[in-house]
Amino acid sequence: MTIKIDVDMTKCQHYGQCVFEAPNIFRLNSDDKLEYTAEADDSELANVEAAIDVCPMQAIFIVD
């Protein structure tokens, strides 16, 4: 199973809190802008949910 992840880049302010919660999914590039993997193994679900919870802008979503 895979989960699909979306980030509303119009809301994202690149704080990077998600990187700490799910480093296999989220990362900041050399310009400190967020990059992410749009699909992940469901073993990452708890980490992605934690990233959703800590995002100050509530910009991260799991897509059905």
What is the DSSP secondary-structure string of 43-60?
A: GGHHHHHHHHHH-TT--E
The parts of the chain modelled with pLDDT lower than 50 are none
Asked whether the whole model's pTM tops 0.85, one would answer yes
CA atoms of 56 and 64, how far apart (whole Å): 22
Q: What is the predicted pLDDT for the residue at 16?
A: 97
Helix (H) or strand (E) holding 1: none
Q: What is the predicted pLDDT for the residue at 21?
A: 98
Residue with tokens 């073993």: 43
Helix boundaries (H) for the chain: 17-21, 45-54
2-63 in CATH: which number? 3.30.70.20
Q: What is the predicted pLDDT for the residue at 20?
A: 98
